[in-house]
Amino acid sequence: MKKLFAILLAILPVLLYAQDMPTPQWRPVYHFTPVKNWTNDPNGLIYINGVYHLYYQHNPFENKWGHMSWGHATSRDLLHWQHLPVAIPEKEGKDTTTWIFSGSAVLDVTNTSGFGKNAIVAIYTADQPKQKKESQFIAYSNDGGLTYTNYAGNPVIDIQRPDFRDPSVIRVGDKWVMTVAVPDDRKVQFYGSADLKKWELLSEFSKQGDNRKIWECPSLTPLYVDGDPAKKKWLLMVSSGNQDAATGMQYFTGDFDGKTFKNDNPADVQLFVDYGRTFYAAIPYNNLPDNRQTMLGWLMPFETGTYPWRGQMSIPRDLMLKTTPSGIRLYQQPAAVLNASLDKLPAAKKVFKKNVTVSDELTLKGINSNSYWIDATFTPGTATDFGFIVAGEKIGYDVAGKNLYISRSNLGVVSGEKIRIQLLFDKSSLEVFVNGGELVYTTLLFPGKDDTGISIYADKGNVKVDSLRVWDLGK
């Protein structure tokens, strides 16, 4: 025992040092990270006058979870972010500490709240650990979202529970509708309000889909199925347990009549937003034009540390509902605004190929930055498997099993005459969209110094690459 203690004492400085070793090689180029310190969930996503605001769960002082506050950044293209001061800081009182947990923001165009015309109102969970309480607070900004004043009448909803969080507010007709989680009960509640201050419970939705883990960060979003305005449906997303993984997000599709959400599917049907265990706590942007619905999620860092920041956001993803043989399903695509700007990036080195047959391995020359955006369509040939090798990892398709896999662990079944793979690898995050976003898989990878480059492989035969486009975004 004594010996063990001595060993531990001896290696402690090494462990501590390793924790604080800068890791610039893993800092993403085109995904959001805070300049320094911890981030988790995106909060208060709102688009105003051409500017995308991103608030985020942030510890301003340390590179680990704690002192929760709303960090703030803005962008005009969802690619380049301007870092701004903390917008809503934690509050340290004599008897009460208030942490600013997740929530949303709305633009109060007609001054329903009395906080001013075009005030931005943030609706968030006040987590008060000493009181073992979570309740919903509001705060308003009259300076375009830079600073917020807490409403004197807080809390606006308090149901006397230690777990009651993550309000997501949208405008439905002439009222505000909040979707909020009661995590331990695997339940979401819907509330309605005329002024963002007085809230009335409308209904509850619980114990459907995947109930193995607590429910957090819900959101309710209207979408046109197949883009047809005559076919409106509602997407209810919840962050919770995913298959055998530690975390994940599930979704439901259904109808919402302004009060109650009615699931399209039987209660035991489980549908997942992402097949990895990294993508979590995603919420859609409020106030986007043209019925666009775009979400951002948090890529949860597990074992491997990065320094001086920890945690990153996903690529912004457009949400779509499509009719499939199994019913209405969620499809995701990297936001169209990003796709459109790819070719305009001056430093992006491009590789475009058409109609090449690959047997064995084809290495793409001169692309070593570990920060790329790949879009490829394959027609299966005689190969049993084909796909990409990125930073030493195989991301491929098993033709007979119709399975997408990463390093031999199966992710899910996709089928079709052709397989389209969009692969976004950015230093330490990997997002894979298959067949236009029918299946999405996200993970974190922490490649070693020599793990660079991209190749296409085909095992025991060949595959036809109908088209391949690679943008090297490492600059």
Q: Which residues are catalytic?
A: 41
Q: One-letter amino acid identity for 12?
A: L
Which CB sits closer to ligand FRU, 66 or 436?
66
Q: Which of 40, 141, 278, 333 binds ligand FRU (CB under 6 A)?
A: 40
Q: One-letter amino acid identity for 436?
A: G
C-alpha 351/C-alpha 349 separation (Å) is 7
Q: Is residue 105 within 8 Å of 55, Cβ to Cβ?
A: yes
Shortest CB 282 distance to ligand FRU, Å: 10
What residues pair up with 432 in beta bridges, in sequence order? 423, 441
Show contacts with ligand FRU in window 425-464 (CB under 6 A): none
Shortest CB 297 distance to ligand FRU, Å: 10
Q: Is residue 173 within 8 Å of 130, Cβ to Cβ?
A: no
Which CB sits closer to ligand FRU, 102 or 128?
102
C-alpha 282/C-alpha 301 separation (Å) is 15
Which CB sits closer to ligand FRU, 68 or 338?
68
Measured CA distances, 472 to 123, 316, 334, 348, 373 (Å):
39, 19, 16, 5, 7
Going by C-alpha positions, the residue among 247, 421, 223 that lies closest to residue 334 is 421
Which CB sits closer to ligand FRU, 57 or 333?
57
Q: One-letter amino acid identity for 256?
A: F
Shortest CB 239 distance to ligand FRU, Å: 6
Q: Which of 31, 53, 72, 165 binds ligand FRU (CB under 6 A)?
A: 165
Show contacts with ligand FRU in window 252-311 (CB under 6 A): 281
The SS3 of residue 265 is coil
Shortest CB 139 distance to ligand FRU, Å: 15
Which CB sits closer to ligand FRU, 98 or 371?
98
* Beta-sheet pairing, 69-75 with 51-59: antiparallel
C-alpha 208/C-alpha 234 separation (Å) is 16
Shortest CB 203 distance to ligand FRU, Å: 21
Q: Which of 54, 217, 235, 282 binds ligand FRU (CB under 6 A)?
A: 217
Q: Is residue 292 within 8 Å of 301, Cβ to Cβ?
A: no
Sign (positive or negative) of CA dihedral 359, 365, 368, 370: negative
Shortest CB 50 distance to ligand FRU, Å: 29
Q: Which residues contact 406 (CB under 8 A, 6 or more apart)?
A: 393, 394, 395, 396, 432, 441, 443
Shortest CB 28 distance to ligand FRU, Å: 19
Going by C-alpha positions, the residue among 197, 83, 71, 85 that lies closest to residue 140 is 197
Q: One-letter amino acid identity for 460?
A: K
Shortest CB 247 distance to ligand FRU, Å: 8
What residues pair up with 182 in beta bridges, in sequence order? 187
Query: Helix H segments across 77-166?
Result: none
C-alpha 353/C-alpha 20 separation (Å) is 42
Place of tokens 């001086």: 308
**CB atoms closer than 10 angstroms to residue 128:** 19
Query: Rg (Cα) of the chain, in Å, rounded?
Result: 23
Going by C-alpha positions, the residue among 240, 164, 250, 236 that lies closest to residue 201 is 164
Which CB sits closer to ligand FRU, 209 or 396?
209
Shortest CB 217 distance to ligand FRU, Å: 6
Q: Which of 90, 166, 438, 459 binds ligand FRU (CB under 6 A)?
A: 166
Which CB sits closer to ligand FRU, 59 or 422?
59
Which CB sits closer to ligand FRU, 209 or 387?
209
Sign (positive or negative) of CA dihedral 44, 52, 469, 373: negative
Binding mask 106-135 for ligand FRU (x = CB under 6 A): -------------------x----------
Q: How many residues bind ligand FRU (CB under 6 A)?
A: 12
Q: Which of 39, 69, 74, 102 binds ligand FRU (CB under 6 A)?
A: 102
Which CB sits closer to ligand FRU, 211 or 371?
211
Q: Which of 216, 426, 431, 472 binds ligand FRU (CB under 6 A)?
A: 216
* Beta-sheet pairing, 279-284 with 51-59: unpaired
For residue 234, give both structure tokens: 């509602």
Q: Is 41 in the site for ligand FRU (CB under 6 A)?
A: yes
Q: Which of 26, 70, 101, 115 binds ligand FRU (CB under 6 A)?
A: 101
User: Which residues of this chain interact with ligand FRU, rule CB under 6 A?
Assistant: 40-41, 57, 68, 101-102, 125, 165-166, 216-217, 281
